[in-house]
Amino acid sequence: MNEPIWSAGNMDRKKGDTTFDICGWCEHASCGSVRYSCYLITSCSLLTSYSLSSDMWWDSACVIKKLGRLDFNDIVKSKQREIDEYQNSIAMLGEQIGVIENLKLADKPPLPSHRPHDYYNVDDVVYVFIEKKSEWIRGIVISGYRHHDGCVSYVLDDIPESSEGWSCGSAVPCVLKEWEYNYFRLNNADFVVWLELCDRTYNGEKLDLEEYGLAMGRF
């Protein structure tokens, strides 16, 4: 790849040092391969959505300065089209938010993938599905591996092997908060739908979610 001579001066250059001269350290260089704040191959953010926006090298002379007034007018028009598209998208998203906020939705357990990273707190009561027993086992959340960072650790009642804490990711359907467990016991049809929405691979493997439902129905 064509690169500058990495003298002390070039290595110390900052973004913006070559604006409207060459692309390498231009403040409008966007994306590409970078070394010492220099874009070795890049595109021009001012020419986004315009036919001259890509495949520029660090030592490419500024394309903008080669263009004339009619070219500038076309660039401005393309930017205005982008603004119009964004404004239309913003308006549509606002309408969609309004529709969702006006729905009267029940307070149901969230899908595992929608749980926040700090969903489980120390001393929370949880129920964990244990495959070897085909049962939901009660437990208590403890502070463990990556607590409040997308994982949950727990000690399970009547399972001595878990006394030092077992852990898993919080975005899996095999761990339920106590209120979620109680909700699904009373609303089995909702649990079936919830499991269907959770039906995907976890760590590359499919879970036997039917067993989860059967175990919930046994209580």
pLDDT range class, residue 219, cuts 50, 70, 90: very low
* pLDDT reading at 202 higher than 80: no
pLDDT tens digits, residue range 80-110?
Answer: 998 999 999 999 999 999 999 999 888 999 9
Identify which of 9, 5, 64, 66 has the alpha carbon closest to the alpha carbon of residue 40: 5
Average pLDDT over residues 51-80: 86
Q: Is the pTM here over 0.85, yes or no?
A: no
Identify which of 44, 51, 29, 38 has the alpha carbon closest to the alpha carbon of residue 10: 38
Average pLDDT over residues 38-51: 84
pLDDT range class, residue 31, cuts 50, 70, 90: confident
Q: Where are the domains positioned within the chain?
A: 8-66, 112-217
Q: Which pLDDT value is given to residue 52?
A: 63
Q: Which pLDDT value is given to residue 78?
A: 87
CA distances from 37 to 7, 20, 76, 177 (A): 13, 16, 28, 48
The b/e string for 179-196 (b: 16+ C-beta within 10 A; e otherwise) is: ebbebbeeeeeebbebbe
For the domain made up of 112-217, the CATH class stated in words is mainly beta
